[in-house]
Chains A and B, each alone.
Chain A
Amino acid sequence: MPYEIVMPRLGWNMEEGTLVEWLKKDGDPVIKGEMVCTIEGDKAAAEVESFEAGILKIPYASPPPGQTVPVGTLLGYVVAEAELETFDPNAGRADDAGSGAVAVGLTAVDPVEGTAPAGVSVPDPGTGDVAERATPAATGRERGAPAISPRARRAAQSAGIDWRRLQGTGRSGRIVERDVLGAARGLKAARGHGAERRHEAVRRIDRAMDGTFGKTNTGQGDMRQVIARRMAESHQTTAPVTLNTEADVTSLWSLISDACHPSWYDLMAGITAVALAEHPVMNTSWRDGVVLHDGIHIGIAVDTTGGVIAPVIRDVSGKSLPEIAAVTKSLIQNAREGSLTLDQIEGGTFTLTNLGMYDVDAFTPIIHHPQCAILGLGRAAPRVVVVDESSGETGVRRMMTLSLTFDHRIVDGAPAARFLQRIKQLAEAPESVFGKADGIQTGPS
């Protein structure tokens, strides 16, 4: 009789727990008393011990690491070698009343609030009554959760996908099988590369799917998934702060009529590159620590029918305004045609986004994770402003609100404000940036 490893109850009040990780892989031999996985309850983490020797078998329906499940949920089996041939871990639990489920013990490892002294094994006290609650798959629709078809729910379970985060495409938003399979394809792409670290995996998913989109144009569904995941990822993991300032862009505006017809993106990319060179802490990413970037590669957010995408202008510092304008033009065109290649999307170190054409003054852009910051451009509207304070003289000037969102994990408020202030100064005196025809001066002139 294979022994069941279930989500143990770490304390009387614990109703659900999270499988943190398996310490053994499916098919690994396990000796009696060995720890097979780590779980986490409300207050403590614990390693789960096998009371029997055998081979670890993890059924498809087992929750993926990171998923929270009710106490008593089946995690895996320890199967005696003799039984291995005839035992199917995916056949379902033989005895759903769960009488034999006291096959595991646990050892509390939480040093602060451990519910059991370290090293003492405690039989799971809750299995008897909790087993009747069964796994999430068997329960009805949870309150507040989106509707999902039974088939999609099963597909999500076998693919290890948390369907509560999916956007359904069925009638009235019901999650159907195709939604789960779409999400599973993304996950598979990430796992296929053998990514070990979470941020790596996320990055690769996005790259893989962005790339797929760009080349084969698989449609809005996949791209929306990528955007949704990236925005949520950014919002949940960064410590975003948005600073607003107003710049007098009257002289910069006059450059729009330049022979190369630069756009606001081109002008602000040039200015931002100069400011980034002076404030290297803003030209960074967070990857378990601050990573400084040598090159200045600025992404520009482009609105396409499939959703927003940010192709990257490479090495902005070495380029003249006409060069930047030419690159930007082709990037935007490729983005709208869905023909961006992978190297046109990845590698950005900073991002610009512009909503000024829609009469937006200021907004709170979301950081293009894991970059440090993003600069939002508002509209350049003509306004009556005080041009000389002493005489009280007013005049009509083009004013633009600049919205800088930065990751407070990487940089503090004052240095970020100094950076924004520098952008404002450069935007108000563009000749210091665009004065030379052969390229942008990245140092102070």
Chain B
Amino acid sequence: MTEKTFTEAAREALSDAMDADPAIFVVGEGAGERGGNFETTAGLYEKHGPLRLCDTPICERGFIGMCTGAAMTGARPVVDFMFTDFILDGLGELINQTSKMQYMSNGRLKMPMVLRGCIGIGHSAATHHSGSYYPFFVHIPGFRVALPSNPADAKGLFATALRGEDPVFFMEHRHLLNLKGPVPDGEHRVPFGQAAVVREGTDATVVALTVMVHHALQVAEELSGEGISLEIVDPRTVAPLDVETILASVRKTGRLLIVDETFMPCGIGAEISAHVTEHGFDELDAPIKRLNGAHVPTPYSPSLERAVVPDRTTIEETVRELLAE
């Protein structure tokens, strides 16, 4: 184990994979000599050169199409978008081609492609640089979506993404990029579809995503002083989604809250809620609750930004409401 930041841990996974597999290459604006807007590729240009650390102009749809072709023909592209918002400029390519190619080729073509970018509200980055949008990608057959919440998972999930055969969205919350934590040295993979129970408890289950895991843990710690025992589940990937671990937790607690910074309608909370009512109705002692970011475009002002995302206060309030149900 070595103490590393989230970004360092993910970069270690990328660097190790690039050393091992010459088919891996990175494209993106500033991904080359600059080392990535968020240092996602720092130091790799010097090692692997401009062919494998490929700077691009601002033309998302173009380089997504190019990378889709590269993946179809045996390479392993990693597309570094800086911000997830920019992925939206290439959605036509992604949904109409990238996600369907394995199906349309009857499995003869593989689509090993990693699409990475920052998500999250909270740096006065305004409405074009604060999006998360991962529920879109969960909706489309063929995509996988990883949402690491800590450095060790960042390394492990990225390593798994780099060795799979499907297009994977690897989403990095901006608040977590400099978060430090112990990271296993050497080879470390976290399988997709395996949630982590990050805190055990008996009174209610809180499923939290990315940065919300940390808020939920703090709330759980505070409430433990009152004898309230929360179980916190971090799904780690939402496509595939580990429904079984969530159900097992609800079987224990009877109560469920899903905390997700993204918008509520048709979101991950709705998906989890539907699974639990379908498969765990008799386990429920209270209606399922969801806590999401406000359903509005992200504001620029820091005080308004704070008002549109769940925080410790709103999580605690919602937990209390859930326990009073």
Contacts and interface: CB of A to CB of B under 8 A. Distances in A.
Given A151-B254, A171-B324, A171-B325, A176 B286 contact: yes
Chain A interface extent, by class: 10 to 19
| Consensus secondary structure, chain A interface | helix
A177 B284 CA distance: 9
B300 interface: no
Contacts of A24: none
B325 A150 contact: no
Interface string B279-311: 001111110000000000000000000000000
Contacts of B284: 149-151
Contacts of A176: 285-286, 325
Contacts, number: 29
Nearest to A177: B285
B203 to A, nearest CB: 10
Interface residues of B, number: 9
Nearest to B250: A151
Contacts of B325: 170-171, 174, 176
A151 B284 CA distance: 5
A58 B284 CA distance: 26
Q: Residue among A151, A152, A171, A176 with the most chain B CB within 10 A?
A: A151
B285 A149 contact: yes
A152 B285 contact: yes
A319 interface: no
Interface in A128-178: 149-154, 170-171, 174, 176-177
A150 B324 contact: no
Q: Which of A149, A174, A177 has the most CB of B within 10 A?
A: A149
A154 B324 contact: no
A332 to B, nearest CB: 32
A152 B281 CA distance: 11
Interface string B196-215: 00000000000000000000
Interface in A321-363: none
Contacts of A177: 254, 285
Contacts of B281: 150
Between B282, B283, B284, B324, the greatest number of chain A beta carbons within 10 A of the residue's beta carbon is seen for B282
A180 to B, nearest CB: 10
B226 to A, nearest CB: 16
Contacts of A153: 282
Nearest to A180: B285
Contacts of B285: 149-152, 170, 176-177
Most chain-B CB neighbours within 10 Å: which of A153, A171, A176?
Answer: A176
A141 to B, nearest CB: 13
Interface of A: 149-154, 170-171, 174, 176-177
16 contacts: A149-B254, A149-B284, A149-B285, A150-B282, A150-B283, A150-B284, A150-B285, A151-B254, A151-B282, A151-B283, A151-B285, A170-B324, A170-B325, A171-B324, A176-B285, A177-B285
Q: Which 9 A-B pairs have the closest CB atoms?
A: A151-B285, A149-B285, A177-B285, A150-B282, A151-B254, A154-B282, A176-B285, A171-B325, A150-B281
Given A149-B254, A176-B285, A177-B254, 15 more contacts: A149-B284, A150-B281, A150-B284, A151-B254, A151-B282, A151-B283, A151-B284, A151-B285, A153-B282, A154-B282, A170-B285, A170-B286, A170-B325, A171-B324, A176-B286
Interface of B: 254, 281-286, 324-325
